Amino acid sequence: MKFNVLQHRLVPEHRLLADDEAERVLKALRITKDQLPKIKKADPVIQVLERVHGPIAEGRIIKVTRISETAGISEAYRLVIGR
Amino acid sequence: MMAARGVTKRIRAIRFALLSPDEIRRMSATKIITADTYDDDGFPIDMGLMDSHLGVIEPGLRCKTCGGKVDDCPGHFGHIDLAMPVIHVGYVKELKKLLQATCRRCGRLLLTKQQAEEFRDEMEQMEELGGEQDIQFVTKETAREATKRQRCPHCGEEQQKVTLDKPTTFRESGHKLTPKEVRERLERIPNEDLRVLGINPDVARPEWMILTALLVPPVTVRPSITLESGDRSEDDLTHKLVDVLRINQRLRENRDAGAPQLIVEDLWELLQYHVTTYFDNQTSGIPPARHRSGRPLKTLVQRLKGKEGRFRSNLSGKRVNFSARTVISPDPVLSINEVGVPVEAARELTVPIHVQSYNLDIVKEWVKRGTIPAAPVGEFYIPGVNYVIRSDGRRIRVTDKNAEAVAETVEIGYIVERQLVDGDIVLFNRQPSLHRMSMMAHEVRVMPHKTFRFNLAVCPPYNADFDGDEMNLHVLQSEEARAEARVLMRVQEHILSPRFGGPVIGGIHDHITGAFLLTYKDAKFTKEETAFILSKIGVRDLPGPAVKKGGQEYWTGKQLFSMILPKDLSLTFKSSIAPKGLTSLRELKDEDALVVIKNGDVSSGTIDENAVGAFKGKILDKIARDYGPDAAREFIDKATKLAIGAIMVRGFTTGIDDEDIPEEAKKQIAEVLRKAVADVEALVERYKRGELEQMPGRSLEETLEVEAMKTLGRARDQAGQIASKHLGMENSAVIMARSGARGSMLNLSQMAGSIGQQAVRGERLSRGYWNRTLPHFRKGDLGAEAKGFVRSSYKSGLYPTEYFFHAMGGREGLVDTAVRTSRSGYMQRRLINALEDLKVKEDGTVRNTGDTIIQFRFGEDGVDPSRSIQGKPVDVDDILQEVLGEEPSWQERLREQEMASYGLTEKDMNPEVSDEEVEVEEEEPGTEE
Ligand SMILES: [Mg+2]
Ligand SMILES: [Zn+2]
Ligand SMILES: [Zn+2]
């Protein structure tokens, strides 16, 4: 049994977006991939997600859903990059 | 994409490259061979450091390269051919990486073909996804991987360990590598291997990091100055280049004459030293080169680095025109939006006025007046004109002599620089500029005397006082800037702080005392007094009296204050004078501490810090939020004037006799303190006998300390309570403390009762002599007096030992204020540098200049804190109340406020005072200015 960071109470929910979903997000934000904040492949969260989804390629997008003090729930997106 | 107006080219990227020796020689206007600069006639020597091919600095002479005169010739580079190669200090880190990552024999990268291929792929991928930073990660990793390999995968050569002996000596397994050897190795590295390491070989071959030719900057970069005595004084860079040339010459001679290896090596190292210090005279590991006077030379790096360097002092920050600086002083008659400007400053500072048909006549009139026009009767200042700028851009200085003549020439299309007049908008600033309210726009009021003046309510955002503070003023020079300043930067637009959503501008000190005197309990004023107070706010028609008693008419303070409230304002809150923890309605009413405002009428409660104070003023907050900045400005102006009127009528003073308490009380306090000291003595006794019960998680010693602190702390509080029993609401010092004007009850109890335990790092004093604090006590004495308990009060005066302890405690405060300010200043700088290019875009996202998203919604909720209600976009309760007209019970209302109140004080505004300190000694006067 490996430790799962996603179950820690301080780690927000991370979800891998399907390609069409990612496309929609980019369109809604009117940006290209490179304008997103990044997350490294080596990030413990990605490694946990890889246990579920299999290898996650660079260029995929992760949706992060946080409990926010100001907004209640806030959504953010991150681009997977190497290392 | 549409290019911005007036922008024809846009920088997309900057490429950094190295200068090759060939390039250096190609761009060089002349080779420099001699260290001499000028001949006996004072003319530059050919092929010397001041060669006229390098540009001209003396008027009259012509440049031999381009033929230009002083202002036309930009200067040209020269070069020195170095006899032996030397290492460029700026690149030692790169050099070390390269030497370690490549083969000592064949020069190939110490990675297998496959590994190199993988890294290359990774790099390409990075490039596609954007992110220069990430590419650097990869190249760093590549180098690290290559360094690990012991044997070359290409030629099989065993690798040795390359180390760097700072600053510029490379060693291989202890054996020294000469710059020449290093250069030879670098030359062998193939181009394709460099690319993987993040170096573009087309523009930057690594061997170029070893210098064989040294670029000599143009004379315009290092001009010599002629002193009054007629002697020439050369620039530091020239001095350094002279050193380089001399040693270079000697090295060449010795080498060519076949001098012993040792001598040549020594000279070579000396050349390396001079070239190194030429670049950076603060290189660690070598002594800085000095002037004859002993002053270290300012060489290339020193010109660029640090606060006084080119970047921070000439590029990020520049000196500006149309600005003024002088001492500040208060003027309660000015509106918060105004600033008083001395006549002398107003005559220097000008606003450019474009001459058009609508203003041609009046502008001509201005110009005719000259620079110091005489004011008509009844006025003391009218503006003049300093310069007239013609349509062709020529500037004409207006003087008393030419004023008439120049005025005649003025026509449409001219620009006339008019002196400041009342109502001009200017920026006003006090350093350190820590937040946006440190620079606000004010309207000018030209005034006699020599200081800048402004309303006291604006002190908190600038963190200003009048003990010698100076401030800066800037006159805006374009119509756009003036419009922006008026809309965005005016003081009234900054009453609510974006940091905590409450008012930062509001009553202080006397304003609060005055408001208290005006409104406390049933304060009332005679007709004359009322007329005097109301005249301050420009009221001409006296309202009807509220009270008639004994044939006299009286106006209540609450009635007068209600006059400046909006007619539909309703509010309930606790005054600052309300004792802590007191919640029963009866007690609040008794103290007149529950403010109830209904439809703009104060029916009960005292107006004090919680109503009109900066940071805490509830009325201020409500008006600014619900009625807008204009109403808020008017309210602050009037409330402060009313308060000052009241304090003038009543009179107010404080002195040390405010802390007088009866003999009986003094005896009680002495008894309480004596008992506390005895209690501590008993504690120590029990501790020594081992009878003290240990607290969980604490050692025996710690238990004793905690208990002693507790006992003595309680004693001080009791002393304070006894003292304050005799200090009632008629006492000026108490009025100030309770109403929030200045000082605290703790301050008072320390003056009247006892100062209490002194502490360093939160513990009783213990250091000084061996096992004791002072030689006045026995070694190992753990009693109250021996460890820093000050029984005396400020009023009674301290005993010598107490005085010393008090100084010890005070010193800590001073030291860490000094440490904290410097450290928080640096942190602030770093933070601002990191955040300065972020902005909120139209779509609500926060982005940097690269247009990448930093936050998907500003603050995650997209709410501007200065327009929010305690962080929320709307106050549902407030709206419900307004719409339904339902009045929540006063308790409900208070509870909400308690929960949501910002609880901020001036201390939070001033990051210098931490909470722990407040515990120990609230608000130490501190050193001023
Ligand atoms: Mg000051
Ligand atoms: Zn020239
Ligand atoms: Zn090799």
Domain span at residue B125?
89-208
Residue B88 banded pLDDT, cuts 50, 70, 90? very high
- Output the six-digit token pair for B245: 């040339």
Query: Residue B387 forms beta bridges with which residues?
Result: B397, B417
pLDDT tier at B311, thresholds 50, 70, 90: confident
B853: nearest CB among A31, A68, A74: A31
Q: What CATH number is attached to the domain comprising B547? A: 1.10.274.100
Q: Do B851 and A77 touch (CB under 8 A)?
A: no
Range in B1-10, B296-305, B311-320, B337-346 the model is least confident about: B1-10
- DSSP states along B463-524: T--SSS-EEEEEE--SHHHHHHIIIIIBGGGGSB-TTTSSBSS-B-THHHHHHHHHHSTT-E
Whether this model's ipTM surpasses 0.90 comes out as yes
* Category of B274 on φ-ψ map: left (φ > 0), alpha (ψ -120 to 50) or beta: alpha
Q: Is residue B842 part of a domain?
A: yes
CB B901 within 8 A of CB B895: no
| Domain end position, chosen among B466, B494, B522 | B494
- Give the model's pLDDT for residue B639: 92
d(CA B373, CA B351): 17
Whether residue B680 is found in the same domain as residue B719: yes
B434/B382 same-domain check: yes
Same domain? B645 vs B663: no
Residues of A with CB under 8 A from a CB of B: 29-31, 33-38, 58-59, 66, 68, 70-72, 74-77, 79, 81-83
Say whether B559 sits in a helix, a strand or coil.
helix
Distance (Å) from CA B927 to ligand 1 centroid: 9
Residue B886 banded pLDDT, cuts 50, 70, 90: low
Amino acid at B76: H
For residue B803, being part of any structural domain is answered with no
Which of A70, A77, A81 to probe the B interface (max B CBs under 10 A)?
A: A70
B287-293: list long-range contacts, CB under 8 Å, 24+ apart: B289/B240, B289/B243, B291/B236, B291/B239
Angle between helices B261-279 and B236-256 (to 10 degrees): 160
Token look-up 């003290």 returns: B692
Q: Does any domain span residue B864?
A: yes
Nearest chain A residue to B123, by CA: A82
pLDDT band at B13 (very low <50, low <70, confident <90, very high): confident
User: What is the C-alpha separation between B716 and B744, in angstroms, rounded?
Assistant: 15
Contact B852 A30 (CB under 8 A): no
- Cα separation, B163 vs B884, whole angstroms: 81
B876 shares a domain with B747: no
How many angstroms separate the alpha carbon of residue B380 from the centre of ligand 1? Answer: 31
Which of B580, B615, B650 terminates a domain? The answer is B650
B468 and B589 assigned to the same domain? no
Q: Which one of B743, B777, B798 terminates a domain?
A: B798
Half-sphere exposure of B66 (CA within 13 A, CB side): 15
Among B111, B198, B121, B115, smallest CA distance to B146 is for B111
Domain A5-81 has CATH 1.10.10.10: no
What's the CA gap between B571 and B543, in Å, rounded? 23
| Residue appearing with tokens 């300065």 | B836
Are B785 and B839 in a shared domain?
no
Total domain count for chain B? 5
Distance from CA of B857 to the nearest CA of A (A): 8
**Angstrom distances, CA of residue B738 to CA of B247, B509, B567, B733:** 77, 12, 29, 9
- Contacts (Cβ under 8 Å, ≥6 apart) of B853: A29, A31, A35, A36, A37, B845, B846, B847
- pTM for the full predicted model: 0.74
Q: What is the pLDDT of residues B430-469, one digit of tens each?
A: 988 888 899 999 999 999 999 999 999 999 999 999 999 9
How far apart CA B800 and CA B332 sit, in angstroms, is: 44
Give the DSSP letter of residue B233. Answer: E
Contacts 24+ apart (CB under 8 A), B891-895: B891/B583, B891/B585, B893/B572, B893/B573, B894/B572, B894/B573, B894/B574, B894/B583
The chain-wide mean pLDDT, for chain B, equals 86
Domain assignment of residue B7, yes or no: no
Least confident of B41-45, B222-226, B745-749, B895-899: B895-899
Pairing label, strands B338-342, B350-354: unpaired
> Tell me, what CATH number does B466's domain have?
2.40.40.20
Between CA B676 and CA B670 the distance in angstroms is 10
For residues B885 and B756, membership in a common domain is answered with no
CA pair distance B463, B469, nearest whole angstrom? 10
Mark whether B755 and B619 lie in a shared domain: no
Looking up tokens 């911005």 gives B4
Are residues B761 and B840 both part of a single domain?
A: no
The verdict on residue B403 lying in a domain is yes
For B77-92, give one letter per residue: b (16+ CB within 10 A) or e: bbbbbbbbbbbbbebb
pLDDT band of residue B7 (cuts 50, 70, 90) is low
Task: Say if B674 falls within a structural domain.
Answer: yes
Instruction: Give DSSP secondary structure letters for B836-848.
Output: TT-EE-TTS-EE-
In terms of domains, do B750 and B721 share one?
Answer: yes
Angle of the B132-148 helix axis to the B92-101 helix axis, nearest 10 = 50
**Winning range, highest mean pLDDT, from B441-445, B817-821, B857-861, B881-885:** B441-445
Give me the residues paired with residue B452 across strands: B328
Nearest residue to B209 via CA among B194, B222, B193? B194
Q: Which helix (H) or strand (E) holds B561?
A: helix B557-562
Alpha-carbon distance of B735 to B659, in angstroms, equals 12
| Residues contacting A77, CB < 8 A, separation 6+ | A17, A25, A29, A36, A37, A61, A62, A63, A64, B856
CA-based nearest residue in chain A for residue B861:
A71
Residues B787, B841 share a domain: no
A34, B852: Cβ pair inside 8 Å? yes
- Asked if residue B416 belongs to a domain, the reply is yes
Ligand nearest to the CA of B910: 1
Euclidean distance between CA atoms B101 and B162, whole angstroms: 10
pLDDT, tens digit (0-9, with 9 covering 90-100), for B629-662 = 999 999 999 999 999 999 999 999 999 888 888 8
Longest C-alpha distance within chain B, in Å?
A: 120
DSSP string across B588-621: HHHHT-EEEEETTEEEE---SHHHHBTTT-HHHH
- Distance separating alpha carbons of residues B347 and B342, to the nearest angstrom: 9
Is B29 part of a structural domain of the chain? no
Contacts of A79 in chain B (CB under 8 A): 129
